[in-house]
Amino acid sequence: MPSFQSLSPNVEPPRSEAELLQRALSLAGRSFAEIAQQHQTGIPQHLRKQKGWGGMLMELCLGASAGSKPEQDFPHLGVELKTIPISTKGRALESTYVAITPLLELKGIDWQHSNVRLKLAKVLWVPIIAERGIPVAERVISTPFLWSPSPAQEAMLQKDWEDHMELISLGKIDTITAHQGEILQIRPKAANSKVRTQATGPNGQIIATLPRGFYLRSRFTSGLLADHFGLN
């Protein structure tokens, strides 16, 4: 089976979930070098200045809608694409960014309509063996899989989300640290620590604060990997 024709540049959006998964599975075992070459794309020496490079390449391969829209990667399928760096033993090496943390105009928002629930409703996880000692070109795609939160997982996510959002509603965003949240934490999401956005302060006034994002703890995503690959 020739491998040079199983992927092509300018990939069309997948027409079904099955097609998306099949495409993703065809990437398993392949290196970034191989994949980048097929898309006539260069490979950075490290990801220090191109942190999203792997994710963007996967979007290209799988036919995700390009650009930075606040939506799922495959809106017609209701699927979000997430790459996840893993160790050779299958542990998540990093937390997973989920969505921006809303800090203002929170009255209409509840868990059911939150950006976190929307993004995590169905995720195509693409694990990449990405220990820091492995050159980017030599990093290999592991087996992608589709995941939706179980009722128990969704309950945990909802509780964390509601706890965080209550504090934010009360004007306590600046008391929130990454220590809070069992599986869903809030951390800075900005170009640097001087960036400011608006939020509600302790007395209901508008304050300037660092933009934040919701992240899944690596403990949690490692569990998803273990569940899927039967490593428990």
Partner DNA sequence: CACTGATCATGT
Partner DNA sequence: ACATGATCAGTG
Report the interface residues with DNA, using CB under 7 A.
46-52, 54-56, 58-59, 67-71, 73, 80-85, 91, 94-97, 99-100, 115, 128, 130, 132, 177-179, 185, 187-198, 210-211, 213, 217-219, 222
User: Please, which residue, 99 or 157, has the CB nearer to DNA?
Assistant: 99
Question: Using an 8 Å Cβ cutoff, are 45 and 165 in contact?
Answer: no
User: Please, which residue, 39 or 91, has the CB nearer to DNA?
Assistant: 91
How far apart are CB 134 and DNA at their closest, in Å?
A: 10
Q: CA nearest 133: which of 46, 221, 34, 29?
A: 46
How far apart are CB 194 and DNA at their closest, in Å?
A: 7
SS3 85: strand
Q: What is the dihedral of CA 45, 49, 55, 60, to 10 degrees?
A: -70
How far apart are CB 192 and DNA at their closest, in Å?
A: 3
User: Please, which residue, 54 or 63, has the CB nearer to DNA?
Assistant: 54
Q: CA nearest 131: which of 120, 139, 119?
A: 139
User: Please, which residue, 54 or 151, has the CB nearer to DNA?
Assistant: 54
How far apart are CB 2 and DNA at their closest, in Å?
A: 28
Q: Which two tokens stand for residue 12?
A: 């069309």
DSSP string, 96-148: EEEEEPP-S--TT--GGG-HHHHHHSSEEEEEEE--TTS-GGG-EE---EEE-
User: Please, which residue, 76 or 219, has the CB nearer to DNA?
Assistant: 219
